[in-house]
Amino acid sequence: PSNTSTTEVLRRPLESAKDTGIEVTVRSALHREGLRFMKHVKGLPGSPDIVFPKARVAVFVDGKFWHGYDFEAWKHKVPTYWQEKISRNIERDERNFLALREAEWRVLRVWEHEVKRELGLVVNRIKQAVREGLEEHHQGQREKSIHR
């Protein structure tokens, strides 16, 4: 990662911990927009950070280091242990994404640098996914009531 040594990263609490600062930033912005959600839903693959159950939207708020954003560009800068660990994280993230998609969930990944640079765009992207998910949900409800 740019401007961050491995030692500095290791001194910080693990980003995989719940309620990271960046997650709180996104959740607070969504809450201000009137959106209500669940967090860290254990019953879903990967325990998404933010979940809108009725809309079937799962949001992961991920940091560059632990989830390997643009990993090929910087992996040579970290020891083999971290290369292997981050590669496993990337593979796990992909499995969780595919499992959620197979279960017909919309899955959004929000990167830490996106939140820092363009929080409004991130929030709008999530709101759009929720809107579309709710429209599908309501359409499905209407179809069920017609066929009863």
- Cα end-to-end span (Å), the chain: 56
What pLDDT does residue 137 have?
86
pTM: 0.83
Q: Cα separation of 13 and 51, whole Å? A: 24
Helix (H, G, I), strand (E, B) or coil at 38: strand
What's the pLDDT score for residue 139?
A: 82
Q: Torsions phi, psi of 111, nearest 5?
A: -90, 145
| The pLDDT of residue 39 | 95
Residue 19's pLDDT is 82
Residue 19 DSSP class: S
Residues of the chain with pLDDT under 70: 1-17, 141-148
Residue 15 is predicted with a pLDDT of 44
Q: Is 35 exposed, middle or buried (0-12, 13-18, 19+ CB in 10 A)?
A: middle
- pLDDT recorded at residue 125: 98
